């Protein structure tokens, strides 16, 4: 397994944080940025992966004993992590919206589901799949909404987003993607790759139904 030193400089957690901000890092990368290095026997990426899993499992109940059970974690490293958590709890903690499935997207785009014109929305997310911002990018005609990658990604880049989710409505009521939708999605996905953004899903909504590109297997890794 590659160590952090083996990674390209722009992919290393602290360098990535400097260039794109902490919201662009995954859970594992954030832990690695806190710890800095591993121990003689355990690489920091291995430690970070196990610590991130503990954080997701225990959340606010994460304890010193949980962390000390991880190979390579001693009192100093455990203290770094728990201290960061406590500072966040005291000063920064706020309600967040985390998106895991298309069903999590639906309440966020319910306002466009019944619109008589096609609305295209971009959701920007941080490295933990938490919503940073929702924006209506374009409003089109009854059956189409012209979308250009420049308009879609300008604000997501300014947000220092790690990933995006697209959504648009079909006023006619059929949520299945048209050929134009498929071409648009492919164009936006290719642009996102160039910009270093992940496309997590593309959801088409109507008043009563929805179609998820991710659930349909149309999202390329």
Q: In this model, does residue 69 exceed pLDDT 90? A: yes
Averaged pLDDT score across all residues of the chain: 88
For residue 146, which of 86, 107, 176, 187 has the smallest C-alpha distance? Answer: 187
Buried/exposed code over 127-145 (b: 16+ C-beta within 10 A; e: otherwise): bbbebbebebbbeeeeebb
Q: 71 exposed, middle or buried (CB, 10 Å; 0-12, 13-18, 19+)?
A: exposed
The residue among 38 and 54 whose pLDDT is bigger is: 54
- Rounded Cα distance, 203 and 102, in Å: 7
Q: What is the pLDDT of residue 157?
A: 94
Q: Give the SS3 label for residue 71.
A: coil
Give me 162's structure tokens: 């790690």
Tokens of 12: 């290393």
Model confidence band, residue 43 (pLDDT cutoffs 50, 70, 90):
confident
Q: What is the pLDDT of residues 80-110, one digit of tens each?
A: 999 998 888 777 655 678 898 999 999 999 9
Q: Among 81-95, 108-122, 152-166, 191-205, which is the least confidently predicted range? A: 81-95
* Least-confidence region, from 132-146, 177-191, 207-221: 132-146
pLDDT at residue 148, as a whole number:
86
For residues 140-169, average pLDDT: 86
User: What is the reported pLDDT for 67?
Assistant: 95
Residue 214 has pLDDT above 70, yes or no: yes
> Measuring CA to CA, how many Å separate 118 from each of 167, 172, 212?
10, 10, 17
When pLDDT is cut at 50, 70 and 90, the band that residue 18 belongs to is confident
CA 116 distance to own-chain centroid: 30
pLDDT for residue 141: 61
Q: What stretch of H or E contains 133?
A: strand 131-139
Cα(23)–Cα(6) distance, rounded to whole angstroms? Answer: 23
Separation CA 216–CA 5 (nearest Å): 38
Choose among 93, 92, 68, 91: nearest CA to 80: 68
Tokens of residue 116, six digits: 């008589």
Check if the beta carbon of residue 152 is closer than 8 Å to that of residue 167.
no
The highest-confidence range among 18-22, 43-47, 59-63, 165-169, by mean pLDDT, is 165-169
In three-state secondary structure terms, 139 is strand
How far apart (Å, rounded) are the C-alpha atoms in residues 178 and 170?
10
Confidence class for position 183, pLDDT limits 50, 70, 90? very high
Cα gap 85→93, rounded to integer Å: 9
Q: Is 205 helix (H, G, I), strand (E, B) or coil?
A: strand
Tell me, what's the pLDDT at 10?
A: 61
H/E element, 27:
helix 27-35
Indicate if the pLDDT at residue 27 is higher than 80: yes
């Amino acid at each position: 397994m590659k160590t952090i030193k083996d990674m390209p400089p722009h992919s290393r957690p602290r360098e990535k944080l400097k260039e794109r901000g902490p919201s662009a890092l995954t859970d594992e990368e954030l832990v690695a940025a806190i710890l800095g290095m591993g121990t003689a026997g355990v690489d920091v990426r291995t430690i970070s992966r196990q610590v991130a899993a503990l954080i997701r499992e225990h959340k606010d109940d994460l304890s010193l004993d949980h962390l000390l059970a991880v190979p390579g974690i001693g009192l100093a490293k455990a203290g770094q992590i728990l201290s960061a958590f406590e500072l966040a709890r005291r000063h920064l903690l706020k309600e967040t919206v985390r998106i895991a499935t298309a069903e999590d997207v639906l309440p966020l785009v319910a306002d466009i589901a019944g619109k008589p014109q096609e609305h295209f929305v971009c959701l920007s997310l941080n490295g933990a799949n938490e919503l940073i911002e929702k924006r209506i990018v374009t409003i089109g005609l009854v059956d189409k909404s012209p979308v250009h990658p420049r308009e879609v990604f300008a604000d997501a880049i300014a947000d220092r987003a790690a990933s995006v989710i697209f959504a648009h409505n079909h006023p006619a009521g059929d949520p299945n993607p048209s050929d134009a939708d498929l071409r648009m999605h492919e164009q936006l996905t290719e642009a996102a790759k160039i910009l270093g953004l992940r496309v997590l899903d593309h959801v088409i909504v109507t008043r009563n139904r929805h179609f998820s590109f991710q659930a349909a297997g149309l999202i390329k890794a």
